[in-house]
Amino acid sequence: MNKKILHKEEFDELYNFLKHSSVLISDNCDNTYKFTVKWLKKNGFNVEKSLKWLSNKGGYCDCEVILNVGRLFDDSYDKCVSIPLLEGKHILIPLHELRTDGKRILH
């Protein structure tokens, strides 16, 4: 059984993994911890206890780990806006990619 529990010190690595795992823009959040669990297992963390730690900090799915947990540690984490889609899903768009009229800046 994995004994490591996710804490603030390791959160940067998880945060960066989630940002590059299609959670933010190219894929919409499916309201699960799919990518978080993948990272926790790969890095030898106790999944159940780490997910409890994340949910206690407001991270109830992959995108909320990015939206809510990151802000607790550091204001430099990307600020994102959640855009609702059909079927209860949503996508996250970093605020720096939105114009003042609310449209997304295309790179």
Domain ranges of the chain: 8-97
What pLDDT score does 92 carry? 66
Q: Tens digit of pLDDT for each residue in 53-76?
A: 999 988 999 888 887 887 777 665
Single pTM value for the model? 0.69
What pLDDT score does 50 carry? 92
Pairwise pLDDT comparison (105 vs 47), residue with the higher score: 47
Within 13 Å and on the Cβ side, how many CA atoms surround 13?
11
- The Cα–Cα gap between 76 and 101 comes to 23
User: pLDDT > 90: what percent of the chain?
Assistant: 22
